């Protein structure tokens, strides 16, 4: 069994065993898992390697690109403004961002952006990854284009532009960019090592992701002009893009957050605990309740899976069998990283790795860790 570093409550031994086994067999290259309950860390484990050559160990302060787990932090930032009475989820986006009304988007509401139902799940082609990294210019492009389906009628995961859209709302209201807002209002106050827009000084700590196996059949037979293809190919770019300095530096609030399981579990435990953590109030219970206002329940136009979205987070659905029922919200990152928040158990669970797996809503490893964590949480309640 591979050696692990960190600490864990003995009740979570099965979770530790699963991580150790996967590191031992090579299923994992390097990874971290964390569980926070009632604001207290009960699992903080890491192990393996930060590089493919097995030269640099995954350390306590190793961070990596967590892909779409970034979206949950972006959502939390928006909810902070909701809590302060500065952002109304039922108001039109154009109330705060007048240019967004162009192209027939006057009726798009803030909650449509936060629930992936705005009709703007990507950029009109042609668009490149370099364009996406130029956040002001690519955000202006989103404001100008027409929606790809009627807003509010269905979800279509906003793969790369979620943070451009929500981040622009934050900038229009607060004046700070998304990355700065997160640093000053969320990550900094709670001591979480999480970054949207990574300073060059932190590059040496990054474990580059190992891309998942290529599958040319993923979009085979799909309508070339349909929402899924337009979203996945606008722009075309592989996981290797995350190795580039321009990607790391940009504030891409849908996909380029850098952190580890500890920082994600720490941040999201404020939701698990009803909005207050370590005596610091970030959200009211009423604002936390907004997360669980179901907005959709059906096939996602981009991912194809049957999903339920609340405001800012996914909710348990048949597409995510490793989540139990209850007052739970979550989201995953490409390759398997995950954040799960259980407000009934006051628990936040996270897993972050560098060897990316396959699967749209978590990998087999994601399933193993989350299932083991919930089994231990259930034992702790009895």
Give the model's pLDDT for residue 2. 87
242 is annotated as an active-site residue: no
Question: In whole numbers, what is the pLDDT of the chain averaged over residues?
Answer: 96
Q: What is the mean pLDDT of residues 90-98?
A: 98
Give the model's pLDDT for residue 360. 85
206-239, pLDDT tens digit by residue? Answer: 999 999 976 544 677 789 889 999 999 989 889 9
Distance CA 173, CA 182 (A): 14
Give the model's pLDDT for residue 216. 46
Give the model's pLDDT for residue 359. 87
118-149, pLDDT tens digit by residue? Answer: 999 999 999 999 999 999 999 999 999 999 99
Instruction: Name the catalytic one among 20, 68, 121, 337.
Output: 68
Q: What is the mean pLDDT of residues 73-90?
A: 99
Confirm if 65 and 257 have CB atoms less than 8 A apart: yes
227-282, pLDDT tens digit by residue? Answer: 999 999 989 889 999 999 999 999 999 999 999 999 999 999 999 999 999 999 99
Instruction: List beta partners, residue 299.
Output: 306
Q: Which CATH number fits domain 5-381: 3.10.129.10, 3.40.50.720, 3.40.710.10, 3.40.50.1000?
A: 3.40.710.10
Q: What is the mean pLDDT of residues 84-94?
A: 98
Distance CA 150, CA 153 (A): 6
Q: What is the dihedral of CA 353, 354, 359, 365, to 10 degrees?
A: -40
Q: What is the mean pLDDT of residues 336-341?
A: 98
């Amino acid at each position: 069994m591979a050696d692990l570093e960190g600490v864990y409550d003995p009740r979570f031994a099965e979770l530790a065993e699963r991580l150790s086994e996967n590191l031992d067999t090579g299923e994992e290259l390097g990874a971290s898992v964390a569980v926070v309950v009632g604001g207290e860390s009960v699992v903080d484990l890491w192990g393996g390697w930060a590089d493919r050559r097995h030269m640099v160990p995954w350390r306590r302060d190793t961070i990596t690109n967590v892909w779409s787990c970034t979206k949950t932090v972006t959502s939390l930032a928006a909810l902070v403004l909701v809590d302060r009475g500065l952002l109304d989820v039922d108001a039109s986006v154009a109330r705060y961002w007048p240019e967004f009304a162009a192209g027939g988007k006057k009726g798009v509401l803030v909650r449509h952006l936060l629930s992936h139902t705005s009709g703007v799940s990507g950029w009109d082609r042609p668009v490149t990854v370099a364009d996406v990294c130029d956040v002001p210019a690519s955000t202006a492009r989103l404001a100008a284009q027409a929606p790809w389906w009627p807003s509010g009628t269905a979800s279509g995961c906003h793969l790369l532009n979620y943070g451009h859209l929500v981040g622009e709302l934050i900038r229009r209201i607060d004046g700070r960019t998304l990355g700065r807002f997160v640093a000053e209002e969320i990550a900094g106050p709670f001591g979480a090592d999480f970054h949207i827009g990574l300073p060059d000084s932190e590059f040496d700590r990054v474990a580059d992701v190992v891309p998942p196996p290529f599958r040319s059949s993923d979009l085979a037979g799909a309508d070339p002009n349909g929402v899924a293809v337009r979203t996945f190919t606008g722009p075309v770019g592989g996981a290797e893009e995350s190795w580039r300095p321009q990607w790391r530096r940009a504030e891409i609030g849908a996909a380029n957050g850098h952190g580890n399981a500890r920082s994600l579990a720490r941040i999201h435990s404020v939701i698990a605990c009803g909005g207050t953590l370590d005596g610091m109030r970030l959200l009211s219970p009423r604002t936390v309740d907004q997360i669980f206002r179901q907005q959709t329940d059906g096939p996602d136009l981009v991912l194809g899976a049957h999903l339920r979205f609340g405001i800012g987070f996914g909710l348990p659905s048949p597409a995510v069998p490793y989540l139990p029922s209850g007052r739970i919200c979550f989201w995953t990152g490409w390759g398997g990283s995950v954040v799960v928040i259980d407000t009934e158990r006051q628990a936040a669970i996270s897993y972050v790795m560098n060897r990316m797996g396959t699967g749209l809503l978590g990998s087999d490893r994601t399933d193993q860790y989350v299932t083991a964590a919930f089994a231990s949480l259930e034992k702790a309640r009895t």
